[in-house]
Structure 1
Amino acid sequence: MELIVIAKPTLFKEECHLVNQLFEAGLQVFHLRKENAGEADYRKIVEGILPEYHPRIALHHFHTLATDYNITRIHHTESFRKRITPNTLTQKHIWSTSIHQLSDIDRITPYHYSFYGPVFNSLSKPGYMGIIPPGFHLNKHNSKTKLIALGGIGLNQIDQVKEMNFDGIALLGTIWNDPTQALSNFKKAKRHCLAHHQTL
């Protein structure tokens, strides 16, 4: 099972140092998403991450930065995806997106993987409630787009998400709600995921 970390929504001082530590500990994909950050902020974060890890960064905004920093992963929000045509997705990038309804899975076939959720009540966004019913088991039919569970996934929920048949999980609050425990919690999460590892 794949393990992805999404950036803390707000800027904070030790972020680049911690992200480098996560990569060193085995993080394969880091989604750089900042709700109110500008291009200069994005550029500063990328430059604070060691160059050998740049191909593991997925950009949510300011996609033109990819050509400056050897970044091959591009994320399209759900609203952005609905405004473009699929043939604009070139093969030189790894594309990701988000869906909130399983009925949309047939509309995202050009994408390599997609976030789906919130699976449980969000740990980082109070009031953002989970949409997965009890006993849920994912039936992906023949979709080639991998689905990554997102939302409210703590260390104690990872095994439960495995049973739901997702291809991976994305963590935000579990990693960043207490940055002093970010590396420790990542290592614990990684151990839970290793038995079902798949590469995106």
Structure 2
Amino acid sequence: MELIVIAKPTVFKEESNLINQLFEAGLQIFHLRKENADEADYRKIVEGILPEYHPRIALHHFHTLANDYNINRIHHTESFRKSITLNTLPPQKHIWSTSIHQLSDIDRIRPYHYCFYGPVFNSLSKPGYMGFIPPGFRLNKYNAKTKLIALGGIGLNQIDQVKAMNFDGIALLGSIWNDPAQALINFKKAQQHCLA
């Protein structure tokens, strides 16, 4: 099962250093998403990440930064995806990702390589953001080519439960960043669950 880490929503000291440690520990994909950060903040974070890890970064905002660094992963928010014609995505140049919050939207994500779906459980990082997956849920992917990545409220104790739901992977935010001092330890524990 794939394991993706999404950035802490706010900028914090030593962030790039910690991201480098996550990559060194085996993190394959890091989503840089900070809704209230500006381009200078994004650039500072990327420049603090070792260049060999730049291809593993997915940009949620300031997509033009991909041209300045060796970044080939671009994330489209759900609202942005709905505002464009999907056949305008250039083939093969980037690895594209997006998000959905309803399985009925699954047919609208075919051009994307992978897609976040959730919240699966009540959010760990956004109080009041409630999960909507019913007990006993098992994903039927209808032979979808787009990988579906579970997102929302996934703590270390829920990873095995999410695996049983038939997702292709999980994305973690709160379980990694709610205590940055434990981020690397929690990532390694999550990694073990995903590999088991």
Residue number in structure 2 paired with 1:19:
19
**Aligned counterparts of 1:45 and 1:129: Cα–Cα separation in 2:** 30
Q: How many residues align?
A: 195
**Aligned counterparts of 1:61 and 1:85: Cα–Cα separation in 2:** 19
User: 1:110 and 2:118 equivalent?
Assistant: no
**Aligned counterparts of 1:83 and 1:63: Cα–Cα separation in 2:** 16
CA displacement 1:143-182 (0-9 Å, x = unmatched) = 1000000000000000000000000000000000000000
Residue number in structure 1 paired with 2:6:
6
Shift of residue 100, structure 1, vs aligned partner? 0.1
Residue number in structure 1 paired with 2:75:
75
Shift of residue 142, structure 1, vs aligned partner? 1.6
**Aligned counterparts of 1:87 and 1:52: Cα–Cα separation in 2:** 31
Code of the residue aligned with 2:151 in structure 1: it is: L
Code of the residue aligned with 2:182 in structure 1: it is: Q
Seq. identity, %: 88
Shift of residue 31, structure 1, vs aligned partner? 0.1
Shift of residue 86, structure 1, vs aligned partner? 1.1
Runs (4 or more) in structure 1 with deviation over 2 Å come to none
**Aligned counterparts of 1:84 and 1:42: Cα–Cα separation in 2:** 24
Residue number in structure 2 paired with 1:100:
101
**Structural mapping, 1:43-82, within 5 Å:** 43-82=43-82
Code of the residue aligned with 1:178 in structure 2: it is: D
Code of the residue aligned with 2:118 in structure 1: it is: G
**Aligned counterparts of 2:80 and 2:35: Cα–Cα separation in 1:** 15
Shift of residue 94, structure 1, vs aligned partner? 0.2
Shift of residue 89, structure 1, vs aligned partner? 1.2
Residue number in structure 2 paired with 1:163:
164
User: 1:154 and 2:121 equivalent?
Assistant: no
**Aligned counterparts of 1:128 and 1:17: Cα–Cα separation in 2:** 29
Residue number in structure 2 paired with 1:34:
34
TM-score normalised by length of structure 1: 0.97
Between 1:173-182 and 1:84-93, the stretch displaced more is 84-93
Q: Give 5+ residue unaligned stretches, structure 1.
A: 196-200
**Aligned counterparts of 2:145 and 2:132: Cα–Cα separation in 1:** 23
Shift of residue 130, structure 1, vs aligned partner? 0.2
**Aligned counterparts of 2:88 and 2:124: Cα–Cα separation in 1:** 34
Residue number in structure 2 paired with 1:86:
86
**Aligned counterparts of 1:88 and 1:175: Cα–Cα separation in 2:** 35
Shift of residue 26, structure 1, vs aligned partner? 0.1
Alignment partner of 2:176: what SS?
helix
**Aligned counterparts of 2:189 and 2:85: Cα–Cα separation in 1:** 40
TM-score normalised by length of structure 2: 0.99
**Aligned counterparts of 2:135 and 2:158: Cα–Cα separation in 1:** 13
Residue number in structure 2 paired with 1:198:
none
Alignment partner of 1:131: what SS?
coil
Alignment partner of 2:64: what SS?
helix
Alignment partner of 1:53: what SS?
helix
Alignment partner of 1:166: what SS?
coil
RMSD: 0.5
